[in-house]
Amino acid sequence: MTGRVTDIWRHPIKSHGREALERVTLSAGQTLPWDRVWAVAHEASDADGSHWVSCGNFSRISKAPQLMAVTARLEESSELITLRHPSRPDLTFSPDRDKDAFLDWVKPLMPENRAASVRIVRARERGMTDSNFASVTLCNMSSHRAVEQKLGQALSIHRWRGNIWLDGLAPWAEFGWIGREVQIGNAVFKVRERTVRCAATTANPDTGMRDTDTLAALDSWGHRDFSVLAEVVRSGDIVLGDTVRPL
């Protein structure tokens, strides 16, 4: 079966908004450009962006579900980001300069019983994905529909916070790509591992409320995995509608 690219998404600030793209240029050994370039460290973290650290060092959706409803728009030339949320006014700010404005904006979205957000850190080497290598998340629309069928309801794809979405494949076909190379557009990936999912996916991207037991649905297949993490091994462009081909 031949798959095609249906969506491309980046998340400029880890766990704080998503943004749709029509095309992207990928570089070998790097994350998707501008994806997770910034992350929000909490008061129990010593993360400074100088090297990769695990997601537990950052404020994230699994602990603060209201963050799921944030959307983002990045102006690359100025590095200004506009954040939107259904219960907050729009905020346009510089992550590197306007920390206090951001912290005031996000504070009402954070649970009182969690470590407070205290600073924004910028990655110095590559985007701060959850993997300890520079990864791009490849997602299969057919697998998403299988989860919807299991739950008996429609789900937003944004629950999975993936980068590149593909359609026209068999459900879970992506799991068979582990250890293989896959070409999408004229970029080539080495698929490294499956993506283990957490409570973040139970939150509704429109409301920020936990409302669906996505993890129980995945448990019915004997795992909690959705999508795969891949490494770019050949630089290239990807455009909506491009084909995917395992090599």
Q: Is 214 helix (H, G, I), strand (E, B) or coil?
A: helix
Query: Can you give the residue range of the structural domain that contains 226?
Result: 3-31+131-246
Domain co-membership, 45 together with 65? yes
The CATH number of residue 194's host domain is 2.40.33.20
Domain boundary among 58, 87, 122: 122
pTM: predicted TM-score of the whole model, two decimal places: 0.96
Per-residue pLDDT of the chain (247 residues; tens, 9 = 90+): 689 999 999 999 999 999 999 999 999 999 999 999 999 999 999 999 899 999 999 999 999 999 999 999 999 999 999 999 999 999 999 999 999 999 999 999 999 988 899 999 999 999 999 999 999 999 999 999 999 999 999 999 999 999 999 999 999 999 999 999 999 999 999 999 999 999 999 999 999 999 999 999 999 999 999 999 999 999 999 999 999 999 9
SS3 labels along 70-122: CEEEEECCCCEEEEEECCEEEEEECCCCCHHHHHHHHHHHCCCCCCCEEEEEE
Domain co-membership, 155 together with 102? no
Which long-range contacts (C-beta less than 8 Å, at least 24 apart) are formed by 156-160?
156/204, 156/205, 156/206, 157/7, 158/9, 158/18, 158/68, 158/205, 159/68, 159/200, 159/201, 159/202, 159/203, 159/204, 159/205, 159/212, 159/214, 160/197, 160/201, 160/226, 160/227
**Burial degree of 108 (CB within 10 A; 0-12, 13-18, 19+):** exposed
Per the CB < 8 A criterion, the answer to whether 241 and 4 are in contact is yes
Domain co-membership, 150 together with 86? no
Domain boundary among 91, 122, 153: 122
According to DSSP, the residues that pair with 5 across neighbouring strands are 166
**Considering its fold, how many domains does the chain have in total?**
2
Domain boundary among 77, 93, 122: 122
